[in-house]
Amino acid sequence: MNIINIEHIAKIYQVGSEEVHALADVSLKIDKNEYVAIMGPSGSGKSTLMNILGCLDTPTKGLYEFTGENVSQMNDNELASIRNRQIGFVFQTFNLLPRSDALHNVELPLIYAGISGAARREKAEAALENVGLSDRMRHKPNELSGGQRQRVAVARALVTDPAIILADEPTGNLDTKTGADIMSLFNDIHETGNTIILVTHEEYIAEHADRIIRLRDGLVEKDEYVSNRYIPNQKQPI
Amino acid sequence: MNFLFELKEGLIISLKAIRANKVRSVLTTLGIIIGVTSVVLMSAAIKGIDQSFQEGVASLGSDNLYIDKWAWFNNDIPWWELRNRKNLKLKHFEKYKAAAKLPLAVAPTANAFRTIKYEEKSVQSIALTGTNHDYINVTNLTFSEGRFFSEFESNGGHSVIVLGSEIAKKLFPHGGGIGQFVKVGPAKFKVVGILEEQGSWVMGAWNPDNQVYFPIQNIYKYFQNEHWGSITIGVRAPNSQMVEAVKEEAIGIMRRVRGLKYDEKNDFSVNQQEGLLNNINESVGVIQIAGLLITSLALFVGAIGIMNIMFVSVKERTKEIGIRKAIGAKKRTILGQFISEAAIICLIGGMIGLGLAVVGSMIIGQFDFPVTVDADAVIIAVTISLITGVLSGFAPAYTASKLDPVDALRYE
């Protein structure tokens, strides 16, 4: 079964008297354990698509089924619940709570999921361990390097065991070396059976995925599988 | 997700946020501290005033009635009607005393105002009370030195005097007043007794502490023509249950004594402390409303301050709200978080304000002003600070909860 099934969605913004079609007509399906990159120049609608895929926003027209549920008609609370349990976000700017330590940041989705006490702590600690940060749990974001911050964000995305990981330019704020480490981490995550959607405008980052969807002017320009996918050989995170 | 869990997690998140923004939290708290301090202090002061009023009234005696030409506390009878009543005379008192069976004690009193002197010291225009030896049984006067004048001295109209504690303090600051002669108007009186401190500032000139007592004949001899003055008859019932019966009897006897026909109105009034109590409760009520109105303004200003800072806080933390929403915080979760933040800040402020009010009331208490902070004040402080917090936190919290996650995440 498809995790994501989008049929003819459009997102139209009203700017003054003019209608802006951020997404004109997009249809796509994404299966479990796919590793998809969404590419496109700025203004192509990839941010809008990502917001809709991430249930942060709803389409103006069309159907969006997420794990079989129609989310295009859901209200704010239902969307929040989907985001909480089914979607793990990784952002370009990390988006950690600056005044909370790594552990609390990772615990946060579990708090909103209603998991309490020891179980919550255990899960959060395990998630941080998975990304190689077991010795940094009590550090606040400003006491961590960029790469470490992004690892905390990845741990936070994974902690609820979501249906998809949605990464928006995850290496955009990192140097090449650290970016490569993070991409290698994503590769590991993918290999353990997770579905990853990666939004990027860098060709060499997109080549980590096994499928690339190219957008232009709110339409899917190209949707193809990558034949010579780049697989990082470096298994262990630093 | 159950409500208690959300509440608990919301409170923990709020506490974390408060701790993370110490300076702002302290500044916010200040407004509420001032508000709560003033409200608690004001209600304590009002309570203190009320209490000393009640004590003052109690010094009139709950079992006591006062038969008088004037109605003391009743505004229903026009003043000219009261003025046109015939004066009460000693002969009326004698007839009443002879006929009354129920009272424990009865005594006549007549008053004048004069300056009292001892050597170089003097006290201006104090209330002189002329009465008889039974007066001590009508009241609860207690003595620090000496005694009340005897039946013999009373009947003979001797020049003996009993001083209230304040008067004695002023005339004899070093004690030793008993046996000395004080001068009141043209006459000299021998001091036979000094009262203990009795009353309350509420009663003013009628506070026993500021009065002197001597046999009633002296009033007419030195200070007042008997035909011009009117006396008051003090009546003491054996107990509070008997007060009504004594009053009924007094009205019956006095109508006969005054020779009233059955269709004529009473030309005298039977006064009791209840009348004064009603008057006082009215005035205290007015003070209460005015005082609390003024102090709640302080609280209101504090609340607006909190609302203001919470709005700033929401704006400043737009990104944080966006992150929280992205990872699954619902509207009500965000709403709860910001409201409980405001409520906690207010509660802490309320507690500090309460502490300050207690200290403040102790300081004010040093200046003899009656102030009482009691358990009620704690409840008032907690309740109003919580309510203020929730009310002033609501609008900012609602704004926060309505933020669109996409916009909020993009906010820098």
Rounded to the nearest angstrom, the minimum Cα separation between A90 and chain B is 10
| B66-107 pLDDT tens trace | 898 888 776 678 888 888 888 888 889 999 999 999 999 999
Instruction: Let me know the angle formed at the C-alpha of A222 by A220 and A227, rounded to the nearest 5 degrees.
Output: 145
Of residues A80, A99, A160, nearest to B20 (C-beta): A99
- With a cut of 90, say whether residue A105 has pLDDT above it: yes
Residues of B in contact with A76 (CB under 8 A): 330-331
pLDDT of residue A231: 82
Measured between CA atoms, how close is A106 to chain B, in angstroms? 10
What tens digit of pLDDT does each residue of A35-88 get?
A: 999 999 888 989 899 999 999 999 999 999 999 899 988 999 999 999 999 999
Sign of CA dihedral B33, B39, B42, B43: negative
pLDDT interval class at B203 (50, 70, 90): low
Q: What is the pLDDT, as a whole number, of residue B378?
A: 82
CA distance B311 to chain A (A): 19
Cα–Cα distance measured from residue A73 to residue A75, given in angstroms and rounded to the nearest whole number = 7
- Rounded CA-CA distance A57/A48 in Å is 8
Whole-angstrom distance, CA of residue A28 vs CA of residue A7? 7
Residue A235: is its pLDDT beyond 70? no
Find all residues with CB under 8 Å of B242, minimum gap 6, and list them: B63, B102
Q: Which pair of tokens denotes residue A181?
A: 């480490």
What ipTM is given for this predicted complex? 0.92
pLDDT at A151: 94
- Give φ, ψ of A71 to 5 degrees: -95, -10
Q: Which residues of A touch B319 (CB under 8 A)?
A: 95
Q: Do B323 and A96 touch (CB under 8 A)?
A: yes
CA distance to partner chain B, nearest, from residue A124 (Å): 14
In angstroms, the CA B336 to CA B316 distance is 18
Among all residues of chain B, which has the CA nearest to that of A54? B326
- Summarize pLDDT for B172-197 with one digit per residue, the tens: 998 888 999 999 988 899 999 999 88
Find the residue in B nearest to A111 (Cα). Answer: B9
CB–CB contact A81 B331 (8 Å) = no
How many C-beta neighbours within 10 Å does residue A172 have? 15
Strand partners, A18: A15
With a pLDDT cut of 70, the percent of chain B lying above it is: 95
Nearest to B323 among A76, A97, A104 (CB): A97
Per the prediction, chain A carries an average pLDDT of: 91
Given B6, B17, B327, which is nearest A89 (Cβ)? B327
- Residues 6 or more apart from B241 whose CB is under 8 A from it? none
- Distance CA(B234)–CA(B135), nearest Å, equals 8
For testing the chain B interface, which of A47, A53, A85, A112 should be mutated: the one with the most B CBs within 10 Å?
Answer: A112
Nearest neighbour of A56 by CB, restricted to B9, B330, B405: B405
For residue B212, name the pLDDT band (cuts at 50, 70, 90). very high
> Cβ B333–A99 below 8 Å, yes or no?
no
Pairing status of strand B187-195 against strand B160-163: parallel
Instruction: Kindly determine whether residue A97 and residue B320, on different chains, have CB atoms separated by under 8 Å.
Output: yes
CB contacts of A97 in chain B (<8 Å) are 320, 323-324
Q: Is B323 on the interface with A (CB under 8 A)?
A: yes
Nearest to B135 by CA among B73, B48, B53, B193: B193
Instruction: Please give the residue of chain A at the shortest CA–CA distance from B320.
Output: A97
- Asked if B327 lies within 8 A of A108 by C-beta distance, the reply is yes
| The pairing of beta strand A87-90 with beta strand A69-70 | unpaired
B322 contact A CB<8A: yes
CA B3 to chain centre: 46
pLDDT beyond 70 at A218 = yes
- B410 torsion bin: left (phi>0), alpha (psi -120 to 50), beta (else): alpha
Q: With helix as H, strand as E and coil as C, how does B292-330 read?
A: HHHHHHHHHHHHHHHHHHHHHHHHHCHHHHHHHHHCCCC
Nearest CA in chain A to B6: A114
- How many CB atoms are located within 10 Å of the residue A74 CB? 17
Rounded to a whole number of angstroms, the distance from the CA of B5 to the nearest CA of chain A is: 7
Q: How many CA atoms lie within 13 A of B197 on its CB side?
A: 4
Encoding tokens for residue B224?
């007042």
* Contacts of A222-226 spanning 24+ positions with Cβ under 8 A: A223/A28
pLDDT at B202 over 70: no
By mean pLDDT, which of A18-27, B11-20, B313-322 is the weakest?
B11-20
Residue pairs spanning A and B at CB distance below 8 A: 67
Query: With contacts defined as CB-CB under 8 Å, which chain B residues touch A109?
Result: 327-328
Q: What share of chain A is helix, strand, coil (3-state, %, to 5)?
A: 35, 30, 40
pLDDT band at A140 (very low <50, low <70, confident <90, very high): very high
Among residues B288, B342, B283, which one has the least CA distance to residue B14? B342
**Helix or strand or coil: residue B28?**
helix
Contact B9 A111 (CB under 8 A): yes
A234 has a pLDDT exceeding 70? no
Which residue of chain A has the CA closest to B329? A112
pLDDT over 70 at B2, yes or no: no
Interchain proximity A89–B326, CB inside 8 Å:
yes
Is the pLDDT at B201 greater than 80? The verdict is: no
Contacts of B20 in chain A (CB under 8 A): 99
Torsion sign, CA atoms B48, B49, B55, B58: negative
For the CA atoms of B318, B320, B322, B324, what is the dihedral angle to 10 degrees?
-140
Residue from the list B324, B328, B405 with its beta carbon closest to the beta carbon of A113: B328
pLDDT bucket at A238, cuts 50 / 70 / 90 = very low
- Is residue B129 within 8 A of residue B161, CB to CB? The reply is no
The interaxial angle of helices A176-191 and A146-158, nearest 10 deg, is: 20
How confident is the model at residue B31, as a pLDDT?
Answer: 84
Do the Cβ atoms of B5 and A114 come within 8 Å?
yes
**Maximum average pLDDT range among A2-6, A225-229, B45-49:** A2-6
In DSSP terms, A211 is beta-bridged to A36, A225
CB-nearest partner of A83 from B1, B16, B326: B326
d(Cα B317, Cα A120) in Å, to the nearest integer?
25
Whether the model clears a pTM of 0.80, i.e. scores above it, the answer is no
- Residue A78: which residues within 8 A CB-CB, separation 6 or more? A71
Q: Quick one: which H or E segment has residue B110?
A: strand B105-118
Task: Please give the pLDDT value at position A70.
Answer: 92
- For residue B406, give the nearest of A57, A91, A95 by CB distance: A57
Tally of CB atoms within 10 A around A170: 28
**DSSP letter string over B53-66?**
HHHHHHTT-TTEEE
Is B78 at the interface with chain A, CB within 8 A?
Answer: no
What integer best gives the mean pLDDT of chain B? 86
Q: Show the tokens assigned to B38.
A: 């003033």
